[in-house]
Amino acid sequence: MYETKVYKIFFEQFVYMTQQAPPNSGGKVSRRDFLKLMAAAGTIMTFAPFVDWGKFLPNPAANVSERAKVQLPDGSQANVKTFQVNHSEAIIYPRSEEDETLNKESFRTWQFIRLPEELGGKKNDASAFRVYSMVCLHLWCLWKYWPEDGRKRGECPCHGSMYDPLTGMAFAGPASLQSPPSNVLPVLDLEVDNDGNIWIKPPNWSVNGNGIVGFGRFIT
Amino acid sequence: MVVSLHRENSLVKFFRWVYAGVDRTIFMGLKFTFPARFVSPLGFLGMLTFVIFIILGITGALLMLWYEPILDRAWDSVQNINDTIPYGFHIRNIHYHASNAMVMVAILHMYYQYFSGRYKIRNEILWVTGVILGVLTILEAFTGYDIIFSERAELAISIAASLTNSIPILGPQMRDAFFGSGFHDFVLRFYAFHVFFLPIALLGLMVVHFPRFLVFDVPMVMAVTGAIMLTGGVFPVDMGLKFDPSVPPGITVPEWYLTGLYAFLRTQFDKFVTGVAWPGLFIFALLVIPFVDKYKKFSWKDRPLITAVGITSLAQIIVTTYWGFYINPDRTKSLLERLVIDPIFFYLVMLLLVPLSFGFTYMMIKLAKNAEANAKLQPKKAGGKTAINLPKKWIYILFVVLLAFQVYLNISAYYAVLNGMKNYSLFIIGIIMLVFAGMFHIYRHGSAMAKAPPPKQTTFPSPAKPVPIPSPKPAPSIPKPTNEPLPAPPIQKSSGTQVATQTSQKTTTTTTTPASTSVLSNSKTDNTQNVVAEKSATELPKK
């Protein structure tokens, strides 16, 4: 067979190369092999810069380096003093100022929730608030928070996945059956300034950080 | 027409010049055959797939003039094409139904090659590239119906992206790289894949996949085109609902070629296993089939194990495809309850289909072999083929009738468009294509009859004295015995007999068609060798 011949040649070449250096040459590489090595190194060096060009593919728009306002649908910034307990709003993050189309994007919609009283929603600091990606981890419908008594949870209208507002973890429905990290919603970290205005801290889009929208997050 | 062709006018010269130029390109290896009579389309389903691909390319290019791949405008632009652009409805429907036809014909093509064992004659590269082409075709069709960005499209994109995401280790990076982040990027990139990346990959693979001998059967091509238009007229594709993130989507089912996969997803089992690993395994199994198939014979009857595996795959595809479509109609139940397929039941059925298909296959093989053995015992029927032989006059009459029908259909199609009955006009244009297919067939039948050698003699004359074939007209036909020895005949393994010494006798008639010159052997031993000689004569170099 042709293949076995090829293997044989390769094997012999290998044996030849390993046994090549005569004992008195002190393990020197032959001139031809050295040339081949140089050519290979040159080729690698020539095409190495293009590896980084892979960054052309993902969209960098999601990377935000500064803190951003929590802007409510009416245009005002959310404030701990005015935002109701056990209430939620859909917010857009990151918000594009120049292109309104991008703000219609479900991947940029987040559910801004002030927790109910029993979960610590009365406190006037960041711990009373949660921001979760509205993209359901199952099949990417948009879920929302239901404040009614007996519900007080995030529910997806498509296949009935339910999310715990305290942690963002799915506890019922198909999303809860998915293995981690795909059972916990991505989250945004908040901070409150002296006036009570709420800001979103620059996120770290990774499963161990704020999570990946539509994929999930490891609970830390 | 014939006269002008023979007179070598400048146009003919130009064509010859172009043809001579093409002979120096990569196309010189390709040989097109335009069959002169009806041949089974099973043998050239691949060519039909390619023709539909070209139809898709043309209609798709036209749609590109109006479609806008932008999040909040995609659906509206499709609506614009469908409702306001003249003939936009036609182009869109042809594009949609041709995509379905392409997937369907490609699947048929694959299974025909599979069961007839033809990948043994060609080589494994053709089979492997064919399977990849099939996968890319489905991806092409899938990205196509996604960029309408209706409710169903959004769900389909979601499933595609979340399946990519579910791939271990590299999944999220792959999703970011291929799809970008968010639906704005998804629509734009699916569009880029749909109109450029995938078609270019398809074309590149086709260059490798094309065998050198191609059959271009005009009536069949026109019939398929007509069928696509006809279907578009009867079942015009709808727009779906525009996607609105604030409105929860209703139940949607993907296109028929993906409902099988959808059925697997609906078992609510792990996304990666059901949505990526199972289809991947299926594709891998298809890829390795020619390397596993060690049978020496081609026929499905002689390769029981491979045939059984093929039948199993078909059975599973049919069952899952139907199952994917089926949703419990009981509206009192919750959406989840209606959608979820019990995995234990589902996988048990899949397993049960294996012994059932194997049993069915072995039974069919046994029956077929019995029938074959019985047929051998029976005396052979004389004649065999019964061709419809229309007299020349009736061919002309039929032609005129069909032409008149074409005129009538043209007028109706035009008036249908004027009156806004778009689907009716598309339907009629489909019929026009079918009528053309019929007309072309009659034309080629008629011209074959005009050229045809006289009816074959079923009993050969006494071998000692070769008789010239009588020509249809009582023309002065002078047999010219040339008595030159043939070159070594091609080896005929099937006959086993040695065709050693043969002399050919050319019998020229006055008609100039090549079909009328036939070579007969005057072998004194066996009449059956005539057939062999006749076969080999076509392969002889011209002297």
Task: At A15, list the tokens.
Answer: 């044996």
Residues 6+ apart with CB under 8 A from B82: B88, B89, B92, B239
- Min Cα distance B337 → chain A (Å) is 9
A30 with A115, same domain: the answer is no
What is the Cα–Cα distance from A211 to A208, expressed in whole angstroms? Answer: 6
Query: Looking at the structure, do residues A120 and A187 belong to the same domain, yes or no?
Result: yes
Say if CB A183 and CB A216 are below 8 A apart: yes
How far lies B57's CA from each of B64, B102, B209, B220, B373, in Å?
A: 10, 12, 19, 19, 49
Contact present, B295 and B303 (Cβ < 8 Å): yes
Contact assignment for B181 to A101 by CB distance below 8 Å = no
Using a CB-CB cut-off of 8 Å, the residues of chain A touching B176 are 57-59
Contact B182 A157 (CB under 8 A): no
- Helix ranges, B116-210 (H): 124-146, 151-165, 171-179, 183-192, 198-209
* Residue-level pLDDT at B502: 41
Cβ–Cβ below 8 Å for B248 and A141: yes
Task: Kindly state whether residues A101 and A192 are assigned to the same domain.
Answer: yes
Determine the residue type at B54: I
Contact call for A141 and B271, based on CB within 8 A: no
CB contact under 8 A, B268 and A177: yes
**Chain B: closest CA distance from residue A131 (Å):** 18
Specify if A72 maps to a domain. yes
Q: How many CB atoms lie within 10 A of CB B29?
A: 10
Tens of pLDDT along B420-455? 899 999 999 999 999 999 999 888 888 877 776 666
| A100 and A184 share one domain | yes
Residue B271 at interface with chain A, using a CB cutoff of 8 Å: yes
Tell me: do A116 and A40 sit in the same domain. Answer: no
Interface test with A, best of B165, B187, B188, B340 (most A CBs within 10 A): B165
Contact yes or no for B181 and A207 at CB 8 A: no
d(CA A123, CA A85): 9
Q: Is residue A62 part of a domain?
A: no
Cβ proximity of A87 and A107 under 8 Å: no
- CA A157 to CA A143: how far, in whole Å? 6
- Distance CA(A83)–CA(A80), nearest Å, equals 6
- A37 residue type, one letter: L
Residues B469-498: what's their mean pLDDT?
Answer: 46
Question: For the residues of B390-424, what is the DSSP string, one character each?
Answer: --HHHHHHHHHHHHHHHHHHHHHHHHHHHTT-HHH
CA distances from B343 to B268, B270, B322, B349 (A): 8, 11, 16, 10
Query: What pLDDT shows up at residue A141?
Result: 81
The residues in A 29-88 lying below 8 A from B, measured between CB atoms, are: 54, 57-59, 61-62
CB atoms near residue B86 (< 10 Å): 9
Query: Which residue does chain A place closest to B181, by CA atoms?
Result: A59
Q: Is the dihedral of CA B488, B491, B495, B498 positive or negative?
A: positive
Q: What is the predicted pLDDT for the residue at B457?
A: 55
pLDDT at site B481: 46
Q: Does A172 touch chain B (CB under 8 A)?
A: no
One domain for residues A150 and A115: yes
Per-residue model confidence as pLDDT tens digits over A41-80: 999 999 998 888 888 888 777 677 788 888 888 888 888 8
Inter-chain touch A61–B181, beta carbons under 8 Å: yes
User: pLDDT tens across A105-159, in order?
Assistant: 888 889 999 999 888 888 888 888 999 999 888 878 888 899 888 888 998 887 7
Q: Is residue A96 part of a domain?
A: yes
What ipTM goes with this model? 0.70
- Average pLDDT on A167-174 reads 89
User: Which chain B residues touch A141 with a CB distance below 8 Å?
Assistant: 155, 158, 248-249
Please indicate, yes or no, whether residues A114 and A162 belong to a single structural domain of this protein. Answer: yes
Inter-chain residue contact A59 with B183, CB threshold 8 Å:
no
CB-based contacts of A1, cutoff 8 Å, min separation 6? none
Give the C-alpha separation, B96 to B92, whole Å: 6
Share of chain B above pLDDT 70, in %: 78
Q: Per-residue pLDDT tens for B114-144?
A: 999 888 877 788 899 999 999 999 999 999 9
Contacts of A143 in chain B (CB under 8 A): none
Gap from B219 CA to chain A (nearest CA, Å): 46
Residue B75's pLDDT is 93
Claim to verify: residue A22 and residue A78 sit in the same structural domain: no
pLDDT higher than threshold 60 for residue B508? no
Report yes or no: B492 at the A interface, CB cutoff 8 Å.
Answer: no
Do the domain assignments include residue A208?
no
Task: Look at residue A219 and tell me if it is in a domain.
Answer: no
Measure the CA–CA gap between A210 and A93, rounded to whole angstroms.
Answer: 13
Q: ω into residue A181 within 30 of 0, thus cis?
A: yes
Q: For an interface test with B, which of A139, A156, A183 has the most B Cβ atoms less than 10 Å from its Cβ?
A: A139
B168 touches B272 (CB < 8 A): yes
Q: How confident is the model at residue B456 (pLDDT cuts 50, 70, 90)?
A: low
Test the A interface: residue of B189, B336, B339, B340 with most A CBs within 10 Å: B336
The first and second tokens of residue A97, run together, are 């100022």
Same domain, A114 and A180: yes
Cβ contact, residue pair B155, A139, below 8 Å: yes
- The residue of B76, B77, B181 whose CB has the most chain A CBs within 10 angstroms, and thus the best one to mutate to test that interface, is B181
H-only helix segments in A19-51: 31-47
Q: What amino acid occupies position A29?
A: V
State pLDDT tens for residues A195-212. Answer: 888 999 988 888 888 988
Alpha carbons A195 and A189: distance in angstroms, whole number: 18
What is the per-residue pLDDT for B455?
61
Query: From the list B158, B166, B334, which residue is nearest A160 (CB)?
Result: B334
Q: How far is B333 from chain A (nearest CA, A)?
A: 12
**Tokens coding B395:** 């061919």
Q: Express as a percent the part of chain B with pLDDT over 90.
A: 41
Q: Is A79 found in the same domain as A35?
A: no
Quick one: pLDDT at residue B388? 66
pLDDT band for B489, please (50, 70, 90 cuts): very low
- Where does a domain end: A56, A76, A95? A56
Look at chain B and count its residues.
Answer: 543
What is the pLDDT confidence band of residue A37, given thresholds at 50, 70 and 90? very high
Most confident listed range (B98-107, B176-185, B249-258, B451-460): B98-107
pLDDT of residue A43: 92
Task: Clarify whether residues A7 and A112 are in a common domain.
Answer: no
Across the interface, of A62, A158, A173, the residue whose CB is closest to B181 is: A62
Residue A61 in any domain: the answer is no
Q: What integer pLDDT is reported at residue A58 of this predicted model?
A: 83
Q: Is A215's CB within 8 Å of B271's CB?
A: no
Q: Flag whether residue B68 sits within 8 Å of chain A, measured between CB atoms.
A: no
Interchain CB distance below 8 Å, A107 and B181: yes
How large is the average pLDDT for residues B492-521? 40
Strands B31-33 and B213-215: parallel
Separation of alpha carbons B310 and B110, rounded Å: 11
Higher-confidence position of A8 and A134: A134
| Mean pLDDT value across chain B | 80
* B71–A101 C-beta distance less than 8 A: yes
CB count within 10 Å of CB A97 equals 8
Which chain A residues in 80-139 lie under 8 Å from chain B, judged by CB atoms?
Answer: 101-102, 104-109, 139
CB-CB neighbors (< 8 A) of B173 in chain A: 58
B497 vs B278: which has the higher pLDDT: B278
Measured in angstroms, the CA of A212 and the nearest CA of chain B are apart by 8
pLDDT of residue B19: 80
In this prediction, residue B78 has a pLDDT band, given cuts at 50, 70 and 90, of: very high
pLDDT in tens, B339-375: 788 889 999 999 999 999 999 999 999 999 999 888 8
Query: How many Å is the Cα radius of gyration of chain B?
Result: 29
φ, ψ of residue B129 in degrees (nearest 5): -65, -35
How many domains, in total, are found in chain A? 2
Residue A37 · residue A28 · CB < 8 Å: no
Say which of A58, A177, A182 has its CB closest to residue B176. Answer: A58
What is the Cα B66 distance to its own chain's centre? Answer: 30
DSSP state of B273: I
> Containing domain of residue A26, as a range?
2-56
Compute the distance between CA of residue B144 and CA of residue B154 in angstroms, rounded to an integer: 12
Average of per-residue pLDDT across B462-468:
49
Same domain, A42 and A81: no
Which carries the bigger pLDDT value, residue B413 or residue B36?
B413
Percent helix, percent strand, percent coil in chain A, to nearest 5: 30, 20, 50
Show residues of chain B in contact with A159, CB under 8 Å.
335-336, 339
d(CA B226, CA B223): 5
pLDDT at B2 over 60: no
B387 has a pLDDT exceeding 70: no
Residue A126 domain-assigned? Answer: yes
A135 domain-assigned: yes
Among A3, A88, A142, A146, which would you mutate to test the B interface (most chain B Cβ atoms within 10 Å of its Cβ)? Answer: A142
- Tens digit of pLDDT for each residue in B310-324? 999 999 999 999 998
Locate B445 and state its tokens. Answer: 């039948």
Question: What's the pLDDT score for residue B40?
Answer: 86
pLDDT band at B106 (very low <50, low <70, confident <90, very high): very high
More confident residue, B1 or B259: B259
Q: Please give the average per-residue pLDDT across B300-319, as a whole number.
A: 92
Flag whether pLDDT at B542 surpasses 90: no
> What is the SS3 assignment for B226?
helix
Edge-to-edge, what's the strand order for the sheet holding A170-172? A144-146, A153-155, A162-163, A170-172
Distance (Å, rounded) from C-alpha A196 to C-alpha A198? 6
Mapped onto helix, strand or coil, the DSSP state of residue B211 is coil
Q: What is the pLDDT of residue B282?
A: 92
pLDDT, one tens digit per residue, over B176-225 is 888 887 888 889 999 999 999 999 999 999 988 988 788 889 899 999 99
- What are the phi and psi torsion angles at B96 (to 5°)? -65, -50
Tell me what pLDDT residue B319 has: 94
Residues of A within 8 A of B70 (CB-CB) are: 101
The nearest CA of chain B is from the CA of A38 a distance in Å of 33
Structure confidence by residue, pLDDT tens digits, B142-161 = 999 999 999 888 888 888 88
Model pLDDT, residue B180:
84
The answer to whether residue B389 scores a pLDDT higher than 80 is no
- DSSP 8-state class, residue A28: P
Q: Count of CB contacts below 8 A, A vs B?
A: 87
